[in-house]
Amino acid sequence: MSLLVVGLSHRTAPVGVLERAALTGDAPALLLRDAAATETVAEAALVNTCNRIELYADVDKFHAGVAELSLLLSHHSGVELEELTSHLYVHYEDRAVHHIFSVACGLDSMVVGEGQILGQLRDALARAQEEHTAGRGLNDLFQQALRVGKRAHSETGIDKAGQSLVTFGLDQIARTTGDIAGMRALVVGAGSMSSLAAATLVRAGVGDLLIANRTRERAERLVTNLGVANAAVIDFAEVPKALDTVDLVISCTGAAGVVITAEDIADAAAAREGLVPLAFLDLAMPRDVDHAVHELPGALLVDLESLSEADAAAPGAGDVDAVTGIVADEVTAFGAAQRAAQIAPTVVALRAMASEVVLSELGRLNTRLPDLDERTRAEVSQTVKRVVDKLLHAPTVRVKQLAAEPGGAGYADALRELFDLDLAAVQAVSGTLGAAKAAGMKTAGAQTVSAQTVNKAVSAQTVGVQATPNGTLAGGGAR
């Protein structure tokens, strides 16, 4: 697998760009289908969160892969390629593995060490599987990333040092409002982030808790899962009126536009002027709460932009160093395992060819010496097989060891060349014939942006991706 990652996050793009690039509705599924339908991409997965949009792909051509994925991100996000390119980062092969393992451990999160990213990676893999764009390569990668993230949280204190965005945001609000225990709260939305927010509020000891969602059944399911007597559901249309009765609002919907306007809030905020402000925690991307609320007296808005500017409580340097070490070790082990797996079909094909030669020669022996007794014939057969096994043992063991090292893929090619192995037979053993991959991975009817279009656009916009010594690749202003 030649792994390529093209994406943007809170580290490379301002919130305004992330907000405009946010993929909502059917856009994530369409992007995945289009990516998997390109000639360069064999598998594709999308990590799409409030502060991260990343395409992971198994590609057969690096430059064409970067160009196609960049254009697809631009096409589906609606952000012009020229602007988007300056915020993109590109990682390839081992550096791409290092990146996803770091993401899984929370090292690349807005709040270092937060554990919610594990659920988001799990959701990304599930979506790719549902769209039939993830095969064995990306499945193994994401499953291993999840294991690495769990290992980091179990073996270090990174989970205690880090916080979720919900907890961090509530901490920022509490600096102005004081303890949120006993407050009357409203959660708008019923997705994974909203569920986390509701559970966090319950643990914090809020008073009455209201849940509103466009689909009322999902809100009712969330209340049932919370299992507390002080939680209730209100209709989505009642949210503006409910603002008069609550002290705190957390909003995280998948809406494409503003859900709570400054006009909705103005009267409720004005009534609190001089008192503890009506607090809003907006975790949606694009934003749910009108940015103009920042200017309203009697209201306090904490959103992703203000969170990115706030100073999070830094985890201990020892924990970060420990997790960094875990990631480095796991990347090395994963790379070695992948390279060893790549040569395994060649070794199997070599042994299969040797077995055929042995059987052929024993057949000739039986024809030439038909009078040999069964005991002698069996002994000759075992002797020939032992000789072949001993001759093949050292080179096959050694080639596996060499192939597991960086740059070891060439040893499989050398083995095939030396023994004149049939490449088609090797591919059949590995189960990665191009036709089979196309049948299993490509989705019919996808709205594909052609490679010719990609090349023209890239030439016009001058993406100009180049490799750096450490394997990280940058285009335009990417890092």
Q: Which of 89, 62, 69, 61 is nearest to 133 (CA)?
A: 69
Asked if residue 299 is part of any domain, the answer here is yes
Asked if residue 317 is part of any domain, the answer here is no
Are 176 and 274 in the same domain?
Answer: yes
- Provide the domain limits for residue 201: 165-309
Are 122 and 196 in the same domain?
Answer: no
CA–CA gap between residue 231 and residue 209 (Å, rounded): 5
CA–CA gap between residue 410 and residue 343 (Å, rounded): 9
Are 226 and 365 in the same domain?
Answer: no
Are 172 and 142 in the same domain?
Answer: no
CA–CA gap between residue 70 and residue 154 (Å, rounded): 36
Q: In the β-sheet with 472-474, what is the strand arrangement from edge to edge?
A: 41-49, 52-59, 3-9, 89-92, 472-474, 466-467
Instruction: Output the domain CATH number for residue 31.
Output: 3.30.460.30
Q: What is the pLDDT along the chain (479 residues), one digit of tens a residue?
A: 789 999 999 889 988 888 889 898 899 999 999 999 999 999 999 999 888 999 999 999 999 999 999 999 999 999 999 999 999 999 999 999 999 999 999 999 877 787 889 999 999 999 999 999 999 999 999 999 999 999 999 999 887 655 678 888 999 999 999 999 999 999 999 987 899 899 999 999 999 999 999 999 999 999 999 999 999 999 999 999 999 999 999 999 878 789 999 999 998 888 887 788 999 999 988 889 999 999 999 999 999 888 877 644 444 556 888 999 999 999 989 988 887 777 777 888 888 888 888 999 999 998 999 888 999 989 999 999 999 999 888 888 887 777 767 666 677 778 778 888 876 666 555 554 344 444 444 433 333 343 344 344 433 433 434 333 344 444 443 33
Instruction: Output the domain CATH number for residue 209.
Output: 3.40.50.720
Which phi and psi (to 5°) does residue 326 adopt? -60, -45
Which phi and psi (to 5°) does residue 298 adopt? 85, 5
Asked if residue 327 is part of any domain, the answer here is no
Residue 105 bears catalytic tag: no
Are 176 and 89 in the same domain?
Answer: no
Asked if residue 324 is part of any domain, the answer here is no
Are 232 and 219 in the same domain?
Answer: yes
Are 209 and 226 in the same domain?
Answer: yes
Q: Which of 29, 50, 183, 296 is catalytic?
A: 50
Are 215 and 276 in the same domain?
Answer: yes
Are 304 and 347 in the same domain?
Answer: no
Calculate Rg over the CA atoms of the chain.
Answer: 28
Are 169 and 156 in the same domain?
Answer: no
Are 21 and 52 in the same domain?
Answer: yes
Asked if residue 437 is part of any domain, the answer here is no
Interhelix angle for 136-155 vs 116-130, to 10°? 170
CA–CA gap between residue 215 and residue 236 (Å, rounded): 8
Asked if residue 438 is part of any domain, the answer here is no
Are 117 and 16 in the same domain?
Answer: yes
Asked if residue 315 is part of any domain, the answer here is no
Number of domain units in the chain: 3
Cis bond before residue 286 (omega within 30° of 0): yes
Asked if residue 322 is part of any domain, the answer here is no
For 197, what's the count of Cα atoms within 13 Å in the CB-facing half-sphere? 30
What count of residues does the chain have?
Answer: 479
Which phi and psi (to 5°) does residue 416 adopt? -65, -40
